[in-house]
Amino acid sequence: MLNLLGSLQKLSIGTRGYATSIDKLSSFGVINRSKKLGRGRSSGKGKTSGRGQNGQKSRGDGKIAPWFEGGQTPLTKRFPKRGFYNYNSNNFAPVPLSRLAHFIQQGRIDPSQTITIRDIVRSNLVHGLSKQDGVKILSDLKPTTQLPPVHIEASRASKSAIEAIEAAGGSITFKYFNKLAMRQHLNPEKFRTPIKDAQPTKKSDILFYQKVEKTMQDRASKRKADLE
């Protein structure tokens, strides 16, 4: 330890064309004291406190909005607006099946259990869902990609992804989550008293989950009839 300190003291640091050693460094100038304003004219910052005589900057906080252009119509108002933001739209995090198959091959996701949104997030296949409403399974499988038979629980899925999962011998179910239900699903240890499963409230979500439940039941019964 003493040898290390001795070597550090002998170390020279070159800054701005001159060299100095660590033992000669000082803390002078590191802490900047705030200016003392309004303490008499002899202080140099008395009377107007360095703000000048008159004007907008001498009154109040003296701040001017960055968009202010002296009273003329600002640039943000001179140009027309296009489009709008749909507050009723759903934003889902995409989960490609190729990435899912890759994570399964690496052992980061267990295919023997039902793959839930919690498993997808904790494996870092999706990095958080604070600004999303769930996950959507997408199909981008290549002919060389091997997808094992998996059982997935997700918010949405594309038609091609459903067909690819069922062709591999797996299944998929859909479950609705609101913000609070998603938080409990991802971190159940933070909820002392479990809350009930959320039910869709928007008309579009209600119709989707009703339709998809009936569709998946029909597809399951059709596959069962084909096997018989």
Each residue's pLDDT tens digit, 88-126: 889 999 999 999 999 999 999 999 999 999 999 999 999
> What are φ and ψ of residue 88, in 5° steps?
-95, 0
Quick one: pLDDT at residue 213? Answer: 85
Mean pLDDT of 212-224: 83
Residue type at 148?
P
**CATH code of the domain containing 194:** 3.100.10.10
pLDDT band at 15 (very low <50, low <70, confident <90, very high): very low
Q: Residue 125 is part of which domain span?
A: 92-198
Q: Model-level pTM?
A: 0.64
63-95 pLDDT, tens digit each: 889 999 999 999 999 999 999 988 888 999 999
Residue 19 has pLDDT above 70, yes or no: no
Evaluate whether residue 75 is within a structural domain. no
CA distance 174 to 156: 6
Evaluate whether residue 5 is within a structural domain. no
Evaluate whether residue 60 is within a structural domain. no
Evaluate whether residue 188 is within a structural domain. yes
Evaluate whether residue 35 is within a structural domain. no
Evaluate whether residue 39 is within a structural domain. no
| 84 DSSP β-pair partners | none
Evaluate whether residue 133 is within a structural domain. yes
Quick one: pLDDT at residue 142? Answer: 79
DSSP for the chain reads: -HHHHHHHHH-EEEETTEEEEGGG---TTTSPPPP--SS-GGGSS-TTTTS-SSSGGGSTT----TT--TTSPPHHHHSPP-----TT---EEEEEHHHHHHHHHHTSS-TTS-B-HHHHHHTTSS---TT-SEEEEE----TT------EEEESEE-HHHHHHHHHTT-EEEE----HHHHHHHH-GGG-SSPPPPP---SHHHHHHHHHHHHHHHHHHHHHHHHH-
How many domains in the chain? 1
Evaluate whether residue 6 is within a structural domain. no
